[in-house]
Amino acid sequence: MKQQPKIIIAIDGYSSTGKSSFAKLIAERLGYIHLDSGALYRAVTLHGLRNGTIANGKIDAEALVATLPGLEVSQRPDTYIGEENVEGLIRQMEVSSYVSPVSAIPAVRVFVDDNLHKMASGGGVVMDGRDIGTTVFPNAELKIFMQADEMVRAMRRYKETTDPGTTFIDVLHNLRDRDLRDSTRDVSPLRKADDAIVLDNTCMTMDQEIQWLVDLLNSKYGFSL
């Protein structure tokens, strides 16, 4: 493959817009690394559930934050806690139901942002999340904001669910709840960066999304894909 420019591509958007799947495919196409920032918030949440600082519907934020210096998270590209691959565990409904309030804790955001900056230090990165273009990499060369119809998003997430007891309505409520919390929290709320380009994929296939991006990279960023 011809050497392509090494830029940072920030992809933000609502839950289940397909950000991570899209980001992963782009990264493969460009020979970039892909970082899924939501997975790190999920790993912190799993860690809290395991050490008891998250239990019975409550999060002891102070106690959880006190355990963060001992937490080693990485993406290679699956998400790891220490040497344990937790990619499957962090997608379970129990983690999903706590991850949004956990991600609103300022010290958790600092912890995740530090890890993201370390992992992205070589450039050539596609990173997806809620605040990548606004907070984590405000100078990213390309910012994309993804959106899609709510029912379409809930159905996509429902099809991926591995918990046998989870219904479509559970998934829809969780998605609505997270969108509301993520966009109304005090620290780094989900919002479109002023210079982000909107990609609405309600009626698009993944191939069409990739082609849209390839055309953009070729025409505006000097790529030859």
Does residue 149 contact residue 197 with C-beta atoms inside 8 Å?
A: no
- Which span (37-45, 62-70, 75-83, 166-174) binds ligand DC, by CB under 6 A? 37-45
Does residue 128 contact residue 197 with C-beta atoms inside 8 Å?
A: no
Q: 188: how many CB neighbours lie within 10 A of its CB? A: 19
Question: Where is 147: in which H helix or E strand?
Answer: strand 142-147
In the bound complex, what is the minimum distance in angstroms from residue 37's beta carbon to ligand DC?
4
Does residue 80 contact residue 35 with C-beta atoms inside 8 Å?
A: no
Determine if the peptide bond prior to 77 is cis (ω within 30°).
Answer: yes
Question: Where is 75: in which H helix or E strand?
Answer: strand 73-75
Using CB under 6 A as the binding rule, the residues of this chain from 2 to 31 that contact ligand DC are 15
Quote the CA–CA distance of 172 and 130 in Å, as a whole number: 19
In the bound complex, what is the minimum distance in angstroms from residue 80's beta carbon to ligand DC?
16
Closer of 29 and 91 to ligand DC (Cβ): 91
Using CB under 6 A as the binding rule, the residues of this chain from 78 to 137 that contact ligand DC are 99-100, 103, 129-132
Backbone phi and psi for residue 191, each to the nearest 5 degrees, phi listed first = -160, 160
In the bound complex, what is the minimum distance in angstroms from residue 175's beta carbon to ligand DC?
9
- Per-residue binding letters, 155-184, with ligand DC (x by CB under 6 A): -----------------------x---x--
- Which span (38-46, 49-57, 62-70, 165-173) binds ligand DC, by CB under 6 A? 38-46
In the bound complex, what is the minimum distance in angstroms from residue 119's beta carbon to ligand DC?
13
| Residue with tokens 């479509």, as numbered in its chain | 168
Closer of 132 and 144 to ligand DC (Cβ): 132
- Which span (21-29, 36-44, 60-68, 76-84) binds ligand DC, by CB under 6 A? 36-44
In the bound complex, what is the minimum distance in angstroms from residue 75's beta carbon to ligand DC?
12
Closer of 75 and 100 to ligand DC (Cβ): 100
Tokens of 97: 């139901």
Query: Three-state DSSP class for 62?
Result: helix
Does residue 99 contact residue 175 with C-beta atoms inside 8 Å?
A: no
In the bound complex, what is the minimum distance in angstroms from residue 9's beta carbon to ligand DC?
14
Using CB under 6 A as the binding rule, the residues of this chain from 190 to 219 that contact ligand DC are none
Tokens of 88: 């499957």
Under the rule (CB under 6 A), what is the footprint of ligand DC?
15, 37-38, 41-42, 99-100, 103, 129-132, 178, 182
